Amino acid sequence: MYSVIMLENEIPRVLEVLGRDYRVFGPVRKGLEYAFDQIDDAEDLCLDYPTTILPPKKFPFPMVDEIFTFEGGEISKIEDLIPEEKQIVMGVHACDVAGLKFLDRVFLGHRSDPRYLRRRNNFLIFAMTCYSVAETCFCMSMGTGPEATSGFDVLMTNIGGKYLMEAGTPEGEEVLRSLQLEPSSEEDLSAKRALIERLKGEFKRYIDMDGMSEFCMTAEVQNSPVWAKYGEICLACGQCGMSCPTCFCFDIGDWVDPSLKSGRRYRRWDVCLLKEFSQVAMGGNFRPERSARLRQFVCHNLGYGSYQFSMNKCVGCGRCIKICPVDIDITEIAGELRQAEPAYMEE
């Protein structure tokens, strides 16, 4: 694997070089939180952030996405709405890299979504090895961290005053070679390995995922009193789903001008925690209770998703824990479900 070293004082120059051919996005401070945004000044880039408000899924899968527009007899094409634009998303943690890999399976698997594909092909991922473990992280339980091993074009690792930059794809290697950075040494690679070993000992949250997919579909889990307990306090606000790196549900909406001469069709993120999500024609609703909708969210993330796509849906980023206004913790729910697991399930 081709690898080089970028000193901290070289970041402004590197961003300037990258900016000649790409729009560069990365984590920036937003009040007390962080968000992925365009980097116009090197001082705005915060590579030591804990986590962002929204995951980088917003790049290939925007919160609101126009499908087509029409004006008179003219109907827009995908090229009009999604122009060719080379981008780099920098500082993507291992859990979010795994989230993008999951979305690739969803949108580019059995049937390829042309809108997702067009955006996905237009950006490179500069992954970032975490330097510390946030309070709500549990990616090690999900096998998605703390080290990113695939799914990136370049992997960045802070090894103390400098960054080890490793190519993960031919495109990533080509970009790294254009930066004219010094080659890395075995000492630098050893520093990365030492960092990862340190991180493994810092996790405070854990989920036992052994057999979890099958367990989530048992009657014991489906009828567990855990759902009524947490359903009483859940606000069904949907923030957990909106902040999830792998939630992929969306709704379709239309707007038409009263003149009928112009309009648009769009899709927007939707979340199973919202009551309207499970509402059907004539006002029927097959998940009217908050407890049932919470069960769907948790079990889809920990169980059903892996059956659908043969990989863990939950990536352990901890956003759903951090953002919940009533402090519902998916790792605590999983633990309580395990405590009530029948003995025969453990054999």
> pLDDT per residue over 53-80, tens digit each?
999 999 999 999 999 999 988 999 999 9
Tokens of 296: 């769907």
Radius of gyration of the chain (CA): 22
Question: What are the C-alpha distances in Å from 297 to residues 178, 236, 258, 333?
Answer: 44, 11, 38, 12
Q: What is the pTM of this model?
A: 0.93
Distance CA 185, CA 192 (A): 11
* pLDDT tens figures, 117-170: 999 999 999 999 999 999 999 999 999 999 999 999 999 999 998 999 999 999
Residue pLDDT, tens place only, 33-59: 999 999 999 999 999 999 999 999 999
Q: Report CA dihedral (227, 229, 234, 238) to the nearest 10 degrees.
A: -10
> Could you tell me the pLDDT band of residue 28, with boundaries at 50, 70 and 90?
very high
**Cβ-defined contacts of 36-41 (< 8 Å, 24+):** 36/89, 36/91, 39/15, 39/90
Q: Taking 60 as the threshold, does the pLDDT of residue 346 lie above it?
A: no
Give the start-to-end residue ranges of the domains of the chain. 3-200, 212-339
Which pLDDT band holds residue 342 (cuts at 50, 70, 90)?
low
